[in-house]
Structure 1
Amino acid sequence: MNRTHKLNLLIAAVLLVTLLFTIYSRRDAPNVSQSPPAAPSVSSAPVKITFWNVETNDLRQALLNQSIQAFNQTHKAVQIVPYFYEVETYKAKLKLSMISGKMPDLFYYWTGESFKYMVDSQIIADLTEKMQERPAFMKQFYPEALQYATYYDRLYGLPHTTSHVVFWYNKRIFAQYGIMPPQTWDELMSTAQQLLNNGIPPFTVSGKERWPLLNWFAYLSNRMGGSTPFQHAIKKTGDFTDPAFLEGAQLFRGLITAKMFVPGFLGLDGPKAEDILLKGEAAMYLQGDWVAEKMLSNPDIGYFRFPTVHGKGDPQVYYGGYSSGWAISANSNRDAAFEVLSSMLGMEERKKVVEASGLLSTAKDMPLDRNIMNPLVYDFVTFIEKDPVDFFGYYDQEIDPHRSQLLLNAVVTMASAPTMSQEEIEDLLKQIR
């Protein structure tokens, strides 16, 4: 055998050994991909939606917190971060947020000029397409409720409740003096004088918060002149020297000079004013039905409409309406914020609110379970959802913020001045410009 042949056999043997070693090595080794190792998977953090609301410190806030907690437990990709603020603090904070451009994702609003300003400034997200994509959800709302947040044929907010300002009264006191709920202003004043003569303050009111005093001025001026004078005031085609406002102011001043309100009413906050009625230390309280659950938890409390005034006005026209709701800011994660909004305004969530609080929802055809409701709350809901024929909006929200403050201050002045002439009242109202 020559040297070349021996060399070839040696090379072949080496290659065979190498091949066998490779085969057995791969068979025993783990199956490892030749591509670079993948990075460990990391679950994405949930989208956090800041949700600003007005602080109520009552059942409304408790129910909303329950809904938020339930949402956070069942939605891992989106989490709600709630904040609650006292009303005046909230208004100031929202204004600063508008100026800075750092708006919350989802927030409480009142309809009116301030809301329209946010729409015009493109601060608020347009919800039109979102709602059109959810026709069943959209159909659950009363169409007129959605109109309150519609500008330029586009929808910018969703109202969550329908409110009504009514008289709450102590039935035990009325029965003691043989008094029936009054249906006219003259009957109301006669009732008030009878109570006053017997040492019982006729009315309690939270003067410290200002706007509860405005409830009186708004109702009186609306009863005297209807909604047209105020609509002119909103558009600045008229002002607060219209005869309806002057007459309303004079009637309001009459309550002050006759000492119809509880002593110290200008320093009372809402809870204290309410407790005075509940304790029987005053006979009547003009306030919205957001206090319905608190009032009607006491069997001594009833309710009646604001009456006609000197034969004018319709007692079935209520101060209130679809005046508040929730909106999404333009710079938010709109998909996540709308997921929260649609959940908070879902039929089941709003049903819980109505059944517990008596505060009507903006959802139509809502089936209520009478068996789990306070019977007095159920009776109130049954009455108030059918009685109104129309609404007029809150004066301090419908006009621009500057005039709103002037109007609130004017009402406080009328409530606190020892004496005030007709000319002084007119001069005061002239300044609301």
Structure 2
Amino acid sequence: MILIGDDWAEDHHDVEVQDATGRKLAAARLPEGVEGITKLHELIARHGGDDLDATDVIVGIETDRGPWVQALLASGYQVYALNPRQAARFKERYGTSGAKSDKGDAHALADMVRIDRDQLRPVAGDSEQAQAVKVVARAHQTLIWERTRTFQRLRNTLREYFPAALNAYADLELTSPDALELLIKAPTPAAAAKLTCAQITVVLARYRRHNRSAKAATIQTAMREQHLGLPEPVTAAYAATATAHAKLLVALNEQITELEAQVKAHFLAHPDAEIYLSMPGIGVITGTRVLAEFGDDPARYASAKARKNYAGTSPVTRASGKSHTVQARYIRNNRLADALQRQAFSALHASPGARHYYDKQRAREAGYNPALRQVGNRLVGILHGCLKTRTFYDEATAWSHHAHPEPHAA
């Protein structure tokens, strides 16, 4: 067995090769790319011998993606993507001075996969389709998060110099294309007050708003109300800032729409898509995000409990002496947790079984979030069973253990 610690940087990798006893066999700095991976293979062959099987090569590295990791997986090596926080805690056993070096980190990573490998999770062998789904799903969600941040910046800017715009465009939503177009057209209070109903109506008509005349009149009235102002140079500076944020929101809206088409195409092409879509509370976007974070490696989750633990829906027990508490699991995949919470909330309206299970938790005096988390936990277990047996969701089967007998008629 050969164990490798790989401390990666943008343009190189510091690696250490150990045998099964922890004896250092070699250390090297390898360049990123084809040249570096070739030299790594040569290093392994030199110290592993001709009869070394690829599965006997264990690699510890602090990332789970990128061409380098894919090349390691394609070679048949066992790759463990180590959490940087876990690795930092492991390195503390070597000393508390805080000293750090790339060679020392590579040594610690090799030791980590040698000593604690049973406690670590190997990089999943997801299919190419699942990897593509993950890329577009994460990119789409990241753009949505960026749009939210940009919107908050725009809103805060308008509050500083032009709060009337927030009231005027409240019915349209500030992130809508017509509100952004009007704001870019008239970014100052003086310019907005000069907008006519006809000009506003033209913009609303372009985006097919209903009751355009009434909405245009409301916007015009709000813009022409008296309000406190700022000196003209200050107002101009704020207007330039707001215009920049508004134009960025327009671009983000366009890219989110375009990327959403890619999300749907990649997800619907995956063989597991129909199973995900059969689940209550899951649509294309939510299904894409759940599939992206769970992956499709059939050997990744040994049981429904393992999938629930990874999802972060199952609770954590903390017992010490006479103290025994059950708490929510906060160390988790936040993208997956967000998607599962959305699914659980939607399932309350789409599944009678989920709604009854939720009401049952609330009757036990569980709060809203804990009860919803329990619904999500149950849905993850159901999803695991559907994927394992390659069957679609069935309402009666899914909640048979939680069904309650109907009361007899009087």
The structure having more radius of gyration, on CA atoms, is: 1
The alignment's TM-score, normalised by the length of structure 2, stands at: 0.20
Q: Which has more strand, going by share of residues?
A: 1
Report which structure shows greater RCO (CA 8 Å, sep ≥6).
1
Q: Which has more helix, going by share of residues?
A: 2
